[in-house]
A and B are shown apart, each in its own frame.
Chain A
Amino acid sequence: MRDFSYLRASSVDAAQLASALPGAMLLAGGTTLVDLAKCGVAEPDTLVDITHLKGLDAITVDDRGATIGALAKMSGVADHADIKSRFPAVSEALWQAASAQIRNMATIGGNLMQRTRCPYFRDGENFPACNKRAPGSGCSAIGGVTRGHAVLGTSEACIATYPGDLAVALVAFDALVHLGDRQVAVDDFFLLPGATPEREHAIQPGEVITAISIPGTPAARRSTYLKVRDRQSYEFAAASAAVGIEFEADGRTIRDLRVALGGVATKPWRARGVEEALRGKVLEPDAVKRASLLAVEGAVDHGANHYKIELAPRVVARAILKLGETA
């Protein structure tokens, strides 16, 4: 790991100023950044440690929704009683992510900034070509081993999968990222790779994530996160779904439905096609399975990842039907 300077930020203002300097990066839990620095992928000149900032780890929940400070830990949010009862998909996405140790370290703000697990991105020594790591150098994944790569939102420049779980739940429930005074919808915070896969987030130099907020809705309250993976725990998603349902008074007709996918796309993927197809309909297994196929509309595979196109709709359908059973 290349050496770097270390600077401990004493205020959000100071962190904003310091992070705008060339070669500076913000350091919170370090679970992505220290790892990627060891891989030689992240090469910061200065790390600006924000973990000593006060008041950025608060979690407040009321009828309007939840506000979670950027420095709240994954474990603390996953175990928070009001998050569990009012936003079960958020809690479930968190405790099914990473390991207990990493969840004790990783912050919510840092979680949004985690990078892809694409093995070509992580290994510049053996695979110099990576448009995300070295813009314009090409993509080693296309034509390579693609079992874990994305089938949705890809471009000719990049097919790297967005690896996270939390943001999948956040995008389903219209959460906002707070960048100091500015707020950005989570769906807009994550960028499609297009021709510039090195740009992953709508965050500018000098901006610091201070919080996320999630509107409180009936669909968020009746929600779940279903994660299918190669091993039972401590593994990234082969395909996952965050789903929330609100029923009409009859308990069968879908008033509101939220669906988002993880493990299959280049960013947390809202599946609005599924939502629109089922809104106003009675929850019924065949209709749910049919509508769930819309989750992968426009999907493109690269050989070994073809299974994700079949798997993702099944995960979506299973999650919706599971929520229906609790009606």
Chain B
Amino acid sequence: MTSKTRIPIQLQINGRQHELEVEPRVTLLDALRDHLGLTGTKKGCDHGQCGACTVHVDGERVLACLTLAVQAEGRAVTSIEGLAQEDGTLHAVQAAFLEQDAFQCGYCTPGQIMSAVACIREGHAGSDDEIREYMAGNLCRCGAYPHIVAAVRQAAAEVAS
């Protein structure tokens, strides 16, 4: 397969198949936001430095801004929109972020939450120090870090129980 013009790709986002045509240079982030209208995933730095665009690909947290959409073909993508249950019940991490007031402006929050879900699943939320280390790829300009750590700690405990 080789192409410089738009190429047809199939993406599996939050359990649903989507067909779209994109230039090879289109990132997964731009595909989600501009082609599929899923604007929950945020564009912060667009250079892999801030973590605002964190999504899961095949269950692992990655940066959508440095992933080409065409590279996500055949993989299961989960964005923040796919985290809550169908009936609207929030994921434990989402609920913990609300309860702990783990944000101010909220722009980094979808990325923080997607990262936190993976951080807990990886087993990297065993202590506050470990949470800080393994959440380091998600920057928060409002400086809500203490509440973010509290939310991850709370959600990790709830997931474990």
Closest chain-A Cβ to B10's Cβ sits at a distance in Å of: 14
Contact bitstring A28-39, B, C-beta under 8 A = 1, else 0: 011100110111
Query: Does B67 count as interface, using CB distance less than 8 angstroms?
Result: yes
- Chain B residues lying within 8 Å of A98, measured Cβ to Cβ, are 137
In contact, A101 and B115 (Cβ under 8 angstroms): yes
Segment from B43-51, B86-94, B96-104, B146-154 that makes contact with A: B43-51
Q: How far is the CA of A234 from the CA of B49 in the complex (A)?
A: 9
Interface mask (A294-309 → B, CB under 8 Å = 1, otherwise 0)? 0000000000000000
Chain A 79-98 residues near chain B, CB threshold 8 A: 98
Interface membership of B107, Cβ < 8 A: no
Pick from A30, A35, A37, A102: contact of B71, CB under 8 Å: A30
- Please choose the segment from B12-20, B21-29, B31-39 that sits at the chain A interface, where 4 or more of its residues have CB less than 8 A away: B21-29
Note all chain B residues with C-beta closer than 8 A to A5: 2-4, 24
Q: Is the CB of A47 within 8 A of B124?
A: no
Interface residue? A127 (CB, 8 A): no
A45 smallest CB distance to B (angstroms): 8
Judging by beta carbons under 8 Å apart, are B47 and A101 in contact? no
Please tell me if A60 contacts chain B, counting CB pairs below 8 Å: no
- Residues A6 and B70 in contact, CB atoms below 8 Å apart: yes
Q: Nearest chain A CB to B75's CB is how many angstroms away? A: 10
**CB-defined contacts of B132 to chain A, threshold 8 Å:** 232-233
- Say whether B137 contacts A35, CB under 8 Å: no
- Which residue from chain A places its CB closest to the CB of B56 in the assembled complex? A104
Q: Report whether A38 and B47 are in contact in the complex, using a CB–CB cutoff of 8 Å.
A: yes
| B160 interfacial by beta-carbon distance below 8 Å | no
Considering the complex, give the chain A residue whose CB is closest to the CB of B129: A232
Q: Does B68 contact A (CB under 8 A)?
A: yes
Would you call A221 an interface residue if the criterion is a C-beta within 8 Å of the partner chain's C-beta atoms?
A: no
- Give chain A's interface residue range (CB within 8 Å of chain B): 20 to 34
Contact with B along A242-265 (1 / 0, CB 8 A): 000000000000000000000000
B3 contacts across to A, CB distance below 8 A: 5-6
Contact A2 B48 (CB under 8 A): no
Which one, A34, A39, A101, A232, contacts B137 given CB within 8 A? Answer: A101
Of the candidates B2, B4, B51, the one whose C-beta lies within 8 Å of that of A3 is B4
Q: In the complex, what distance in Å separates the CA atom of A233 from the CA atom of B60?
A: 20
Which of chain A's residues have a CB closer than 8 A to the CB of B122?
Answer: 100
Bound complex: CA A73 to CA B33 (Å): 27
Q: What is the number of contacts between chain A and chain B, taking CB atoms within 8 Å?
A: 94
A30 to B119, CA, bound (A): 22
Answer yes or no: A161 CB below 8 A from chain B CBs: no
Q: Are A102 and B63 in contact (CB under 8 A)?
A: yes
Nearest Cβ on chain A to B112's Cβ, whole angstroms: 12
Known: A1-B25, A38-B47, A100-B119. A6 touches B63 (CB 8 A): no
A8 close to chain B: CB less than 8 A? yes
Q: Name the contact of B62 in the complex, choosing from A6, A35, A39, A105 (C-beta under 8 A).
A: A105
Among B46, B65, B68, B70, the one with the most A-chain Cβ atoms within 10 Å of its Cβ is B68
How many angstroms between the C-alpha atoms of A263 and B28 in the bound complex?
Answer: 32
- With a cutoff of 8 Å between Cβ atoms, the chain B residues found around residue A29 in the complex are 66
Q: Do A51 and B71 touch across chains, with their CB atoms under 8 A apart?
A: yes
The verdict on A102 contacting B2 (CB below 8 Å), with A31-B48, A233-B132 known, is no
Contact check, A47 vs B24: say whether CB atoms are below 8 A apart: yes
CB–CB A35/B60 < 8 A: no
B105 part of interface (Cβ distance < 8 Å): no
Say yes or no: A105-B25 contact (C-beta < 8 A), given A38-B46, A38-B47: no
Give complex CA distance A3, B5 in Å. 9
CB distance from B137 to the nearest CB of A (A): 2
> What's the least CB distance linking B147 to chain A, in Å?
18
Q: Which residue on chain B has the smallest CB distance to residue A75?
A: B60
8 Å CB interface, A99-117 against B:
99-102, 104-105
Docked complex Cα distance between A1 and B22 (Å): 14
Q: Contacts A35-B66, A102-B63, A105-B66 known; list 8 others, CB within 8 Å.
A: A4-B25, A6-B2, A6-B7, A39-B47, A99-B136, A100-B115, A101-B62, A233-B133
Nearest first, the 3 closest Cβ-Cβ pairs linking A and B are: A99-B137, A6-B24, A233-B136
12 contacts between A and B (CB under 8 A): A5-B2, A6-B24, A6-B70, A7-B1, A29-B66, A31-B63, A34-B68, A35-B47, A75-B60, A101-B48, A101-B51, A102-B137
Binding site for B on A (CB under 8 A): 1-8, 27, 29-31, 34-35, 37-39, 46-47, 49, 51, 75, 98-102, 104-105, 232-234
